[in-house]
Amino acid sequence: MHRFDLRVYYEDTDLAGIVYYANYLKFIERARTEFVRELGIDQTALRAAEGVVFAVRRIEADYLAPARFDDELTVFTTPESVSGARILLRQVVRRDGEELFSALVTLVALGEGGQPQRLPANIRLLLQ
Confidence band for 66, pLDDT divided at 50, 70 and 90: very high
Predicted local distance difference test score (pLDDT) of residue 20: 97
Query: Diameter of the chain by CA atoms?
Result: 47
Confidence band for 2, pLDDT divided at 50, 70 and 90: very high
Q: Domain ranges in the chain?
A: 2-127
Residues 10, 25, 80, 120: is their CA dihedral positive or negative?
A: negative
Measured CA to CA in angstroms, residue 21 lies from 27, 88, 91, 114 at distances of 11, 22, 15, 28
Confidence band for 127, pLDDT divided at 50, 70 and 90: confident
**In the CATH scheme, what is the homologous superfamily, with its name and number, of domain 2-127?**
Hotdog Thioesterase (3.10.129.10)
Say how far apart CA 27 and CA 29 lie, in whole Å: 5
Among 74, 73, 83, CA closest to 1: 74
Predicted local distance difference test score (pLDDT) of residue 122: 86
Catalytic residue among 14, 42, 62, 70: 14
Confidence band for 61, pLDDT divided at 50, 70 and 90: very high
The DSSP element (H or E) to which 47 belongs, if any, is helix 43-50
Q: Are 117 and 84 in contact (CB under 8 A)?
A: no
Confidence band for 125, pLDDT divided at 50, 70 and 90: confident
Q: Are 24 and 55 in contact (CB under 8 A)?
A: no
Predicted local distance difference test score (pLDDT) of residue 124: 87
Say how far apart CA 23 and CA 11 lie, in whole Å: 10
pLDDT tens per residue across span 85-124: 899 999 999 999 999 999 999 999 999 888 999 988 888 8
Among 84, 87, 97, CA closest to 127: 87
Predicted local distance difference test score (pLDDT) of residue 60: 98
Q: Is 71 a catalytic residue?
A: no
